[in-house]
Structure 1
């Protein structure tokens, strides 16, 4: 795996191989030209040094805002896939009785696979669009419009919770997939734009964004479990569940509008605007609108980041192959005992909650430990080794089994271990190349590189989701 550029990629001044703390003069700005605002000042400026260095991130507000943006970027996907009991109820053959056992149907059996495909294919197209627009359309416009579209789709989904669809399940199924396609495209346009902006900040901000994405999954899993425990009716539980998502999307809109008002973020956004091809932009936009500005140089970016991009691609490709389509179908071997643990809470806890908590821990670990480095050959080797997770999940107690009848891991502890391992490696090995990518290119290409890395991630999800459907049908 020695496909790294023969010339070692020079890390831009935002990269420091250890976690960055919250201090007035950050490690990535200690050299003469490393403050983003330095390019705005004469080389021998008599301005005091304190002015040339970045202001303090007071109360870690910028870190928290990007953390919330990370939660919001994957919140739509997580809220759709985690509401498994609700979709089973809506797509079953006896939705007239909310308290009854759902009867098996093709729609409910393969819903997660269809959901994964519907969410990832349009996401790839939207990220290509995002790359084309990165120098043509303000990040403010891309981010805010994406959030408003996500909010609109979730409001529609919330309203449909209380609508009886027992006589039009196929239409509801198609409409749901259409909503997933729209909201996934919008959320990827949002996440790609936000991650591109974070490339102009120190690495701690990129890490906050990626950790927030994992926390989004954890929060959705917790919300699902709480709703199951509190609400007596499936629709009441789903109503509270999706209303939670509506409120959080509104919170994301509010906090993003707050971002340019903070001195710390304005400092880096101003520097980004001065170095971007689109020129200066007002307010919080990190890129200019730039009439007639061409797309960023893709070949130049890929020459520096293609190994990191392929690593991101394969990490998320393997993860989506088994989560959630396979992992959420693994049932307790003691399900026939009738206990509430094995019938109601086993899948939400072992599949969704444990995976997302482990994923969050893996992403958060990159704040303190960043090995292997961006030029190491060990990173892609570790990524390829995750292929072993696929057969491990296939031979757990996945039900129903129509073709592959052998169950090698016939104990409830196995899916617990495998989900934790899948989430931990996904978080750590997926985060490292994502935060390395924008730091191994010149500063003016940081945002475009962030979009490219997001494209590799989403492409991995799209390819993996197609294979997940084949895996589910083969079992």
Structure 2
């Protein structure tokens, strides 16, 4: 049957099909398929040279690359946070305390600020235009990283405690603004075909892969720690500047200006072109200024939310707390592979690359569907990965002395399986979220889906400490 454009409702942010329309339940669940294949009369313009796809992929990289570089530069923080000028015994004790708990402080600062900024972003969806939120968060991220870049070559040995406080504050601001940027752009993709959501998600995994490669290059070159870190931070600065330019370019694309429906991106500044008179524009000020309704979003996305939370719970439980402490069985040989490069290769690079591959597969294969019981079944099946990692050569072992998998190939295979399953299943669930709600709630749903990710990672990280004590 032909679908009339009159069946669609229009709001200031989007055009959507009302919940009471005659769509079957499974059709409503996969509204994205309807959007990717618009009916006659609502034809979507061609994405020339895949420009929109490339832009969202690049925004995915830029949104997470600074945070990844911030965390990856572990040797730099160890160098900067110890007193480098022959400290006294009392000063060394203080420095040791800071070094011992530095990663814990970073985790707390990152998690708390991410959750608070996610809540604030949800409340500001209908109050602050998305363009303002995206560009403001990018500007703050760039300013923070320029500050940290400037401090790389500054001697901080005389004010270690002050530098530590500055670092924690910068990490909290960076994590919070990165969350606002990522969740806002993800909500933005809800008004585009599903492949653009997939591009953004895959770009985030590419950011992790780039940071892992940078770590390996640093280890192989064995250069001055400040020189390598300066290169890391300057790379992140360039990517953030590129993201600002891409966000300014996106509204000028024909694919953006004339989508199937008025996109939710930057609605206050872009008007539908005159050659599409059948798509009315909302009157200024007609949009609601109150926060989006949370209950219908939670109700619609409950199943996907469980999948996302449990997915990242299992991933956070194993990676990196367990996987980074799995040692090569031939470590005593003293070869660089078994000592220096084993963990960076088999943990950081392999996981991030497998995660990227899993997310990229969703560009061609999108199964099972959002209502399928197979999806949560596959998510629960990942629980089997926990004992597989535990019974590799994890060290030190206090309670479980038996090592079942006595080969270095096992952690390689298990890490690949962890990354592939995490990338593919999480990308599916995240892509489906904004597509199974009314179009006017797509952006808010993107923020809620990001909150699910945050909850899963927090639970996984918290429980990983308990699992470590049980081994």
What TM-score does the superposition give when structure 1 sets the normalisation length? 0.81
Is 1:310 equivalent to 2:297 in the alignment? no
How many equivalent residue pairs? Answer: 433
User: How far apart in 1 are the matches of 2:407 and 2:83?
Assistant: 30
- Match of residue 32, structure 2, among 12, 15, 18: 15
Query: What's the secondary structure of 1:30's corresponding residue?
Result: coil
User: How far apart in 2 are the matches of 1:342 and 1:177?
Assistant: 33
Is 1:300 equivalent to 2:292 in the alignment? no
User: How far apart in 2 are the matches of 1:142 and 1:61?
Assistant: 23
Alignment of 1:385-424 (within 5 A): 385-400=381-396, 406-424=402-420
Range that drifts further, 336-345 or 126-135: 336-345
Deviations 1:17-49 (A, max 9, x none): 9xxxxxxxx8521355xx3xxxxxxxxxxxxxx
Is 1:56 equivalent to 2:46 in the alignment? yes
Range that drifts further, 314-323 or 140-149: 314-323
Counterpart in the other structure of 1:282: 269
- Match of residue 449, structure 1, among 445, 449, 457: 445
User: How far apart in 1 are the matches of 2:61 and 2:309?
Assistant: 21
- Match of residue 61, structure 2, among 64, 71, 86: 71
Alignment of 1:210-289 (within 5 A): 210-268=201-259, 271-273=262-264, 280-283=267-270
CA contact (8 A) 1:210 1:431 kept: yes
Q: CA deviation at 1:457?
A: 1.2
Counterpart in the other structure of 2:333: 337
Alignment of 1:151-166 (within 5 A): 151-165=142-156
User: How far apart in 1 are the matches of 2:307 and 2:330?
Assistant: 38
CA contact (8 A) 2:31 2:436 kept: no
Q: CA deviation at 1:160?
A: 3.2
Q: CA deviation at 1:400?
A: 4.8
Counterpart in the other structure of 2:38: 29
Is 1:84 equivalent to 2:74 in the alignment? yes
Query: What's the secondary structure of 1:199's corresponding residue?
Result: helix
User: How far apart in 2 are the matches of 1:184 and 1:429?
Assistant: 24
User: How far apart in 2 are the matches of 1:139 and 1:155?
Assistant: 24
Counterpart in the other structure of 2:5: none
Query: What's the secondary structure of 1:360's corresponding residue?
Result: helix
Q: CA deviation at 1:89?
A: 4.2
Taking a change above 3 Å as real, the CA distance of residues 385 and 71 of structure 1, as seen in their structure-2 partners, is: same
CA contact (8 A) 2:57 2:199 kept: yes
User: How far apart in 2 are the matches of 1:442 and 1:280?
Assistant: 17
Taking a change above 3 Å as real, the CA distance of residues 420 and 459 of structure 1, as seen in their structure-2 partners, is: same
Query: What's the secondary structure of 2:372's corresponding residue?
Result: coil
CA contact (8 A) 2:81 2:99 kept: yes
CA contact (8 A) 1:218 1:356 kept: yes
Range that drifts further, 365-374 or 341-350: 341-350
Query: What's the secondary structure of 1:15's corresponding residue?
Result: helix
Q: CA deviation at 1:396?
A: 3.2
What TM-score does the superposition give when structure 2 sets the normalisation length? 0.82
Deviations 1:358-413 (A, max 9, x none): 00110011111111111001111211222232333334334455666554444322
Is 1:458 equivalent to 2:467 in the alignment? no
Query: What's the secondary structure of 2:269's corresponding residue?
Result: coil
CA contact (8 A) 1:8 1:375 kept: no
Q: CA deviation at 1:163?
A: 3.8
Range that drifts further, 167-176 or 455-464: 167-176
Range that drifts further, 384-393 or 197-206: 384-393
Alignment of 1:422-433 (within 5 A): 422-433=418-429
Alignment of 1:345-364 (within 5 A): 345-364=341-360
Please provide the CA RMSD for this pair.
3.3
Is 1:142 equivalent to 2:133 in the alignment? yes
Taking a change above 3 Å as real, the CA distance of residues 228 and 318 of structure 1, as seen in their structure-2 partners, is: same
Taking a change above 3 Å as real, the CA distance of residues 405 and 166 of structure 1, as seen in their structure-2 partners, is: farther
Range that drifts further, 362-371 or 152-161: 152-161
CA contact (8 A) 2:117 2:176 kept: yes
Alignment of 1:93-172 (within 5 A): 111-165=102-156, 172=163
